[in-house]
Amino acid sequence: MKLKNVPSEFQKALPILEKIKTAGFEAYFVGGSVRDALLGRPIHDVDIATSSYPQEIKAIFDRTVDIGIEHGTILVLENAGEYEVTTFRTEDIYVDYRRPASVSFVRSLEEDLKRRDFTVNAFALDEDAQVIDLFDGLADLDHRLLRAVGKPQERFSEDALRIMRGLRFVASLDFTIEEQTFTAMKTHAPLLAKISVERSFIEFDKLLTSPFWKKGLRALIDSEAYAYLPNLQDQIAGLEQTLTAVADDFVFSSSEQAWAALLMNLKSTPVKSFLKKWKTSVQFQKTVTSLIDLYDHRSLEGPNRQTIYRYGKNLAILVEDLRQAQGLPVAYDLIEQLDESLAIHDKSEIVIRGGDLMAAFAIKPGPALGKVLAEVERAIVEGELSNDKAAILEFASQRLQ
């Protein structure tokens, strides 16, 4: 079939294909970008596959970067754009259930496409917008079916991360996994324990923040893949609860909100230690912890100046979103009003520092000074004290007497 509406991203990259073909080689757009174009979804990365070898690509284009030349990938800098161009290749045995021991460059498009994970990711698109479909991917696309290319058992034993990628595609594309493919996923799920945590996090995070995350999470549970992910081994009840805790059409606004919601449904476990196992950043851990703390506080009382000052309007709104998705009362307008009423949003905005008080009242650093500074901050937040130097000195003098 021919792609009727060619995305501008492909049109802009078309001269790359034409230049390679003029040099006597084959070249195609391949992979997920072709799938997304067929589905009418936004295009992110344009990948090009070619029969020309890396050194031949470097001879065709003036500006290139060897970003993965050992695997056949060259970054071509052309027409104010950057394009990854990869040589058709076959792969040797996978030594760690993730990466092949070696790759061999070939001149055959079919040999290159047959090593890909799912049929809907194994399309090629030529310069005339003709879709090349060697594995009935178009039929699977019509049926919104996720099917492994070739033998599913081989695809997942080669690269176990494909299991998580498949579950993520279910969540992002609203696809159903073909029966034999799903059986192979479930059989090979234990291999996920051998995959780097960072890689699994990326896929699970994308799953949770996708429009159809409930469908993806359902597939994660049913495949039993969760049992081989950090800290989820005995969390089946919490995962099931996550599916029913919020409205069916609710979509998480951020990764931090998604993980906070997940953790609130799991068995009691220290948030930071849980997220450390997933190799997340300290800032990510801090934000998720704050969201959970604020949610718990919000369950006890409504928003007030101190909570908006401490946690910030953005986190407060994320918490309200979770409450709304659970059918609980919300206070968006109050949060906006409280935020606007704050004279400061961070203590660095206070016009006086500890050194100013030490100089004005001849006091030394210590608990007394710290207590006064805390009282100044609280009073400004509550609107009891102006963020004015003279007013703050008068306020402090009364408390230092």
Establish whether 92 is an annotated binding residue: no
Question: Does 32 show up as a binding residue in the annotation?
Answer: yes
Q: Is 50 helix (H, G, I), strand (E, B) or coil?
A: strand
Q: What is the pLDDT of residues 212-266, one digit of tens each?
A: 999 999 999 999 999 999 999 999 999 999 999 999 999 999 999 999 999 999 9
Tokens of 373: 């500074």
- In this structure, the answer to whether residues 217 and 236 fall within a common structural domain is no
Rounded to an integer, the average pLDDT of 139-166 is: 96
Tokens 């800098």 label which residue? 77
Final residue belonging to a domain, choices 294, 315, 342: 342
Amino acid at 268: S
Q: Pull the structure tokens for residue 298.
A: 């919000």
Nearest to 121 by CA among 181, 79, 77: 181
What is the rounded distance in angstroms from the CA atom of residue 316 to the CA atom of residue 63? Answer: 48
Are 19 and 62 a contacting pair, CB within 8 Å?
no
Q: Is 339 annotated as a binding-site member?
A: no
Under 8 Å between Cβ of 46 and 29: yes
Helix ranges (H only) for 91-160 are 109-113, 137-142, 152-158
Residues 214 and 283 in one domain: no
Q: What are the pLDDT digits (tens) for 184-201?
A: 999 999 999 999 999 999
Instruction: Specify the number of domains making up the chain.
Output: 4
Domain of 385 in residue numbering reads as 349-400
**Shared-domain flag, residues 23 and 113:** yes
Which CATH number is 89's domain given? Answer: 3.30.460.10
Long-range contacts of 344-348 (CB under 8 A, 24+ apart): 344/309, 344/377, 344/380, 344/381, 344/387, 345/309, 345/312, 347/377
Mean pLDDT of the chain: 95
Percentage of the chain surpassing pLDDT 90? Answer: 91
Shared domain check, 41 and 171: no
Last residue of a domain, one of 225, 240, 259: 225
* Residue 155 annotated in ligand binding: no
pLDDT of residue 15 exceeding 60: yes
Last residue of a domain, one of 137, 153, 183: 137
Is residue 107 annotated as involved in ligand binding?
no
Tens of pLDDT, residue by residue over 33-64, are 999 999 999 998 899 999 999 999 999 999 99
DSSP 91: E
47 annotated to bind ligand: yes
* Residues 220 and 308 placed together within one structural domain of the fold: no
Domain identity same for 174 and 300: no
Residue 388 labeled ligand binder: no
300 and 246, same domain (yes or no): yes
- C-alpha dist (Å) from residue 240 to 97, 117, 265, 320, 326: 29, 28, 9, 22, 15
The annotation status of 305 as a binding-site residue, yes or no, is no
248 and 301 in a single domain? The answer is yes
| Token code pair at residue 137 | 């991917």
Per-residue pLDDT tens over the stretch 262-317: 999 997 779 999 999 999 999 999 999 999 999 999 999 999 999 999 999 999 99
162 is in an annotated binding site: yes
What's the rounded Cα separation, in Å, for the pair 375 and 247? 42
Q: How far apart are CA 117 and CA 158, in angstroms?
A: 10
Q: Which amino acid would we find at residue 119?
A: T
Residues 26 and 109 in one domain: yes
| 104 and 183 housed in the same domain | no
